[in-house]
Amino acid sequence: MSARRLAAAAVVLAGAATAVAVGVGSSAPRPVTATLAATGTVAAPRQATLDFPTAGRLLEVDVRPGQQVAAGQLLARVDASSARAAVATAEANLGSAVAQLRQLRQGPSRADRAQLRAGARQAQQTLAAANQALADARDAAAQDAVRLQTALDQANARLAADQGKLAHDQSTLAADQAAAASAADQVAADRTALTAAQATLLADQKTQAADQATSAPAQTLSADAKAVLADQAAVAAASSQLDDDKGALGDARPAVGADQAKLDADGTAVAADRDAVQVAADAQAAGAVAQRQSVDAAAAGSTSASLGLAATQAENATHLQAPRIGALAAARTAVRVARAALVGAREQLAATRLVAPFPGAVASVGGVAGQAVPLQGGLVTLVDLSGLTVDATFAEAPATLLAPGERATVSVPALADSAFAGTVTGVDPLPTAQGAYTATIALAGAPASLRPGMHVEVAVTVTGR
């Protein structure tokens, strides 16, 4: 790298990189050194999100986040009963194909011919039974789906009815509470009226007594007597009205209590209905899973029986034919096909075990035993913590100075600014969306506490003449 280029880059990188020129004016050029500063993140060499390739139900999850695993270590298992059955069927088919080839070479006996015919009938009966089982499973699944949907609909209908009754009883309670409040207000008004009437009576009685003491005229005394009588009548009427309104209030209060009791009972019924709806919904979801599993199992049985019949028919045809080159070739092909089917079945069986493809640390586990897989986002995320690198971004001018083999110093703020050495291994030829270029730096002696995604500060020393 030329000294002129480094000096020009040093001007561009003022404040972010340092360029030092030695021997200005001397006859021989001396090395020019620049330190390029950047930020970056720690990256793992390998990271994989693992899950089962086919649908199933988790039997066990054998790892937890943060656990270190070795390559080939078991991470999780799904139900392998169907896969084992498929392997057993494939092994039987291979054995049958091999026996067929052997029999073709030897030629069938009379007893062998009878046995072949019996085997074909048995295979046909097995297929018919498997197809019937599949039809029965589909019918049962449809009936179960109708039953569970009906139960859910009924639970929802009960909930709607009880919610309607709750709303009606709430309206009744509000009306009765309003009536009780009105009756209470009337009683208060009656008491006020009675007090006023009693005060008027008392005043008129005092006036009458005063007029009698002063021997007032007869006309005055007569008016006083009439006023007292009127006041007494008013007091009696107010008292009677108060008694009547107290009775009405006494009648309204029990109605409010009864309404509240109904409302409490309605609330209990609605809560129970909601629980029943949830139970019905859960039962429907569980039933759908069970129905799908039952139909899938029956379909697998039908497919297996169909393959068994085809294998039996192929075997019989091979055995009953005269040993010709074409027949022998077909028998050999059947053996190869059966072997391939066995390999595929064994691969499917192996796929029921999720194993680590490389040593590393478990970053996350997204499922639990009993859960259906595959999962959105994967079941296990595995990260290889060996050979960590740093991805650092440099602007255009500094990026032109970078080259593989340049020495770098990496410091990690999260680790108390621990610093360790690194080496530039490559620079991306294309810029990022922000116009920067990403350099990859291999780390030497990285601490065990370093983790992918950590923020780091990078200083790359570049030298040219």
Instruction: Indicate whether 377 and 427 sit together in one domain.
Output: no
pLDDT band at 15 (very low <50, low <70, confident <90, very high): very low
Q: Answer yes or no: is 279 within a domain.
A: yes
pLDDT tens digit string along 119-152?
999 999 999 999 999 999 999 999 999 999 999 9
Instruction: Indicate whether 377 and 393 sit together in one domain.
Output: no
Instruction: Indicate whether 358 and 415 sit together in one domain.
Output: no
Q: Answer yes or no: is 178 within a domain.
A: yes
CATH number at residue 415: 2.40.30.170
Q: Answer yes or no: is 96 within a domain.
A: no
CATH number at residue 233: 1.10.287
Q: Answer yes or no: is 312 within a domain.
A: no
Q: Answer yes or no: is 316 within a domain.
A: no
pLDDT tens digit string along 386-431?
889 999 999 999 999 999 999 999 999 998 888 889 999 999 999 9
- Mean pLDDT (the chain) is 87
Q: Is the pLDDT of residue 20 over 60?
A: no
Q: Answer yes or no: is 7 within a domain.
A: yes
Instruction: Indicate whether 184 and 231 sit together in one domain.
Output: yes
Q: Answer yes or no: is 313 within a domain.
A: no
Q: Is the pLDDT of residue 30 over 80?
A: no
pLDDT at residue 25 in the model:
45
Q: What is the pTM of this model?
A: 0.41
Last residue in a domain, options 282, 304, 326: 304
Instruction: Indicate whether 252 and 156 sit together in one domain.
Output: yes
Instruction: Indicate whether 131 and 256 sit together in one domain.
Output: yes
Give a three-class secondary structure readout of the chain: CCHHHHHHHHHHCCCCEEEEECCCCCCCCCCEEEEEEEEEEEECCEEEEECCCCCEEEEEECCCCCCEECCCCEEEEECCHHHHHHHHHHHHHHHHHHHHHHHHHHCCCHHHHHHHHHHHHHHHHHHHHHHHHHHHHHHHHHHHHHHHHHHHHHHHHHHHHHHHHHHHHHHHHHHHHHHHHHHHHHHHHHHHHHHHHHHHHHHHHHHHHHHHHCCCCHHHHHHHHHHHHHHHHHHHHHHHHHHHHHHHHHHHHHHHHHHHHHHHHHHHHHHHHHHHHHHHHHHHHHHHHHHHHHHHHHHHHHHHHHHHHHHHHHHHHHHHCCCCHHHHHHHHHHHHHHHHHHHHHHHHHHCCEEECCCCEEEEEECCCCCCEECCCCCCEEEEECCCCEEEEEECHHHHCCCCCCCEEEEEEHHHCCEEEEEEEEEECCCCCCCCCEEEEEEECCCCCCCCCCCEEEEEEEEEEC
Q: Is the pLDDT of residue 13 over 60?
A: no
Q: Is the pLDDT of residue 229 over 50?
A: yes
pLDDT tens digit string along 66-120?
899 999 999 999 988 888 999 999 999 999 999 888 877 777 677 877 888 899 9
pLDDT at residue 216 in the model:
86
Instruction: Indicate whether 361 and 235 sit together in one domain.
Output: no
CATH number at residue 62: 2.40.50.100
Number of domains in the chain: 3
| Domain boundaries, position 14 | 3-45+387-464
Q: Answer yes or no: is 346 within a domain.
A: no
pLDDT tens digit string along 297-337?
999 999 999 999 899 888 787 666 666 677 778 888 999 99
Instruction: Indicate whether 359 and 445 sit together in one domain.
Output: no
